[in-house]
Structure 1
Amino acid sequence: MQRVRIGIVGLGNMGTGHAKYLIEGQVSGGVLAAVCDVRPERLDQAKAEWGDGVKRFDSPEAMFRSGEVDGVIICTPHYEHPKQAIEAFAHDLHVLVEKPAGVYTKQVREMNEAAAGSGKIYGIMYNQRTNPLYRKLKELIASGELGEIRRTNWIITNWYRSQSYYNSGGWRATWAGEGGGVLINQDPHQLDLWQWTTGLMPKRIRAFCQFGKHRDIEVENDVTAYVEYENGASGVFVTSTHEAPGTNRFEISGDRGKIVIENDQMTFWRLREPESEFNKRNTESFAQPEVWKFEIPITPGGAEHLHITRNWTQAILKGTPLIAPGEEGIKGLTISNAMLLSTWTDGWVDLPIDEELFCAKLQEQIERSKAANAANAQPSAR
């Protein structure tokens, strides 16, 4: 294969953005061959902008069986991602799915199984993995510079969304339309980076989600969660969409010090010796380990969405390792599902979660959803 003929499923904001850089030739070895959308006006606009060289389809199924594409980028509503990816794999196509991988882990697990059985290249649009700050953090932790992790703390409250934003679409901030709020819409990148950079998944979670706080919406927009890890470490995750000004601060404490990412900078307070060793030899009541403060230099770069698409294309053509394998999309989703389930059951949730119980609780929300009541059909978590 000399080039990858790429099809885009869904021409909303994200799908259109991916189409533009493909049309501009910014992906070596990749060409925009086709697009599909259920809205005739979007297909008419695609023809006006890109001409007849880009094939147009009114359904994903028609595109998948057309023979016009080798791989697809799925940019449709959250509930549709797994179903459409599974069908694409069945048609022997490579898949790059937008975040989140899906709404609930049961459907994403089925997508992962289909991908494994297909032998095709399967990626997810976790574009923040290309951010030099988080790549450096992952490198430092993996190298042992921070020592064993003892605590993680991420405050990510700068996702401000006004009521006007929520009013802009009847599907927004509804259980039937989006499948959740800040955790499924704004935070998938942070939930991915949290476990990707540290290499740790929680063993259990206790979360407190608040629904429609200071906003007229039905889904969660304010979350405080506490997690525990197998190695004895703990973590806190705080997020919201109603605070102004918000905060984005990720702090990781380890046996050899503390790293903080805030305001696009990384600071490392490094202990001269591991705290565990200092504690063993110290005989003074109020002594503390000697600490050195470093501003970690970060190499500019990271083309985000474009970088991920380039990487996926090269994985198809040359076997280049994926930055964001699609199978890993279930990890951050597991954390967000656990946070909601903890709130709905008012208790601790162990990982892996009870997927059937989560689906049942989600279905209860869907059946009461404004979007479901307003539509002729509604998605199902069964």
Structure 2
Amino acid sequence: MKPEVVRLGIIGLGNMGRHHVDTVLNDRVPGCELTAVCDSNPVKQSVGKGLPFYTRSSDLIRSGKVDAVLIATPHYSHTPIGIEALEAGLHVLVEKPLSVHKADCLRLLATPRQKSQVFAVMLNQRTDPYYQTIRRMVQDGELGRIHRIHWTITDWFRSQAYYDSSSWRATWEGEGGGVLLNQSVHNLDLFQWIFGMPHKVHAVCSLARYHYIEVEDEVSAIFQYYDGTTATFITSTGEAPGVNRLEVIGDMGRLVKEGNRLSFHRNQVSSSDYIRSTPEGYLTPPVEIRNIDIPDHGEQHTGIIKNFVGAILRDDKLLSPANDGIHAVELINAMILSSMHQSIVELPIQAAVYEKTLQNLIFNSHFHKTVSPYQGGFGNYLQKSST
């Protein structure tokens, strides 16, 4: 019998964990009750507003007080905590990324579980109607055959104060990567969700170009597909003002998403047909411009939690099942491998090869970090907290 309410425990009370606590405690997720919280730092007990508090994730998982957990801890711990929670029979929602590298993703996804257990990953930008519309248009063939994709995402700006705020941030040992794994994992998930996985990757990952860190803060990459489609992907946390512009070129025209605008310059005749049939040497096909009106960017994190709870209570279809989380991680791993070896990397990658590469980066690191308590404001979805 399905429960009437999902008893949720949140593990990890950093920026995102506190945001999720606030979401559930303010009744933004119907059918969900926050019943326990956990953080290794006992100072954060007050975040739970008097709820049962644990400093060990194992104790919360085995407390009997929760049916499900939301894991919002530093990246490397997603795999061991997720495995333990699944083995305990709990439903699991893991913050992005699913894991740091493909090998850990595979270990987590291989954990035996009951068919009734719900396992999801926080890929919240899948709730955005802009990207849902783009995906539908691509999959329905409105653009015809896709020739080229170009995505520049340089509006992930972060200051040195951001990186200095936590000991684990922007280190190979603590975080496992930089802009790709922390920020652009969202965009890379959307990329493969809309267009599928490429066949080859060639990337230049600039380490510490803008910040005193040891991981990448700027990336330029080229993706190749079996059908000849090519794509460029550019991202940075050091450019200001930044831009987020996705351009998709197909036989039937150009689709552009930038900021709060989505427009389709639609060819009245497919470019391939026009090339073969027109007697003109210079004129392009006639075009009609359609501006697509979309009211907002969806429910984001709250929407994913609602979907997760709905899957537990009513068997709703998951928008971001855990199995999907491995794809963006593999793309990230391939991009870093390509940059490290200055070569084109074919997908799928060998998980053990990247895991060994990462272990070598950690072993050979001489980076020394000074942590400074963060005093500034928070991002667009986070509220400033004194804890």
Q: State the TM-score, normalized to the length of structure 1.
A: 0.93
* Alpha-carbon separation, structure 2, partners of 1:115 and 1:147: 41
CA contact (8 A) 1:366 1:372 kept: no
CA distance in 1, matches of 2:116, 2:338: 36
Listed one character per residue, the Cα deviations across residues 91-116 of structure 1 (whole Å, up to 9, x for unaligned) are: 00000000111110110111112166
Quote the Cα distance in structure 2 between the aligned partners of 1:116 and 1:155.
39
- The residue aligned with 1:358 is 354
- Take 1:284 and 1:373, find their aligned partners in 2: how far apart are those partners? 63
The answer on 1:92 being equivalent to 2:94 is no
More helix by share: 1
CA distance in 1, matches of 2:363, 2:242: 33
1:188 aligns with 2:185: yes
1:191 offset after TM fit, Å?
0.6
- Looking at structure 2, the residues matched to 119 and 84 of structure 1 have their Cα atoms a distance apart, in angstroms, of 19
- What is the rounded CA distance, in whole Å, between the counterparts of 1:115 and 1:152 in structure 2? 38
* SS in structure 2 at match of 1:141: helix
Q: What's the CA shift for 1:196?
A: 1.0
2:209 counterpart SS class: coil
Whether 2:118 is the aligned partner of 1:108: answer no
Deviations 1:289-347 (A, max 9, x none): 11111111114351111111011000000000011111101111111110000011111
**Pairing partner for 1:341 from 333, 337, 341:** 337
Percent identity reads 40
Q: Tell me which of 35, 59, 62 is aligned to 2:59.
A: 62
Kindly report which structure 2 residues correspond to 1:237-248, keeping only aligned pairs within 5 A, or say none: 237-248=233-244
Aligned partner of 1:318 in structure 2 is: 314
Could you say what secondary structure the match of 2:263 adopts? strand
Question: Are 1:260 and 1:267, in contact at CA under 8 Å, matched by a contact in 2?
Answer: yes
Give the drift of 1:175: 0.5
Is 1:206 paired with 2:202? yes
Q: Kindly provide the CA deviation profile for residues 23-59 of structure 1, in whole angstroms up to 9, marking residues without a partner as x.
A: 122111110011111111112x135xx22xx222221
Q: Aligned to 2:19, which of 17, 20, 23?
A: 17
Show the counterpart of 1:31.
33
The farther-off stretch of 109-118 and 78-87 is: 109-118
Unaligned runs of 5+ in 2: 371-387
- 1:326, 1:371 → 2: CA distance? 33
Q: Give the count of matched residue pairs.
A: 369
Q: Which letter maps to 2:71?
A: I
1:116 and 1:261 map into 2 onto residues whose CA distance is: 39
Task: Note closer, same or farther for the CA distance 1:154–1:246 as it changes in structure 2 (3 Å cut).
Answer: same
Quote how far apart the aligned CAs of 1:119 are. 4.6
Q: Which residue of 1 aligns with 2:385?
A: none
Partner Cα separation in structure 2 for residue 31 and residue 157 of structure 1: 37
Alignment correspondent of 2:8? 6
Give the alignment's TM-score, normalised by structure 2: 0.92
Residue 206 of structure 1, CA deviation: 0.6
Aligned in 2, Cα 1:262/1:367: closer, same or farther, shift over 3 Å?
same
Give the equivalent residue in structure 2 for 1:380: none
Specify the code of the residue in structure 2 equivalent to 1:2.
E
Deviation per residue, 1:76-99 (Å, 9 max, x gap): 000011111111110000000001
- Once the two structures are superposed, residues 200-232 of structure 1 have per-residue CA deviations (whole angstroms, 9 ceiling, x without a partner) of 211010111110113221101111100101221
* Preserved contact between residue 25 and residue 33 of structure 2 (Cα < 8 Å): yes
User: What are structure 1's unaligned runs of at least 5 residues?
Assistant: 375-382
Distance 1:78 1:291 in 2: 47
Q: Secondary structure at the match of 1:214?
A: coil
Matched to 1:209, the amino acid is C
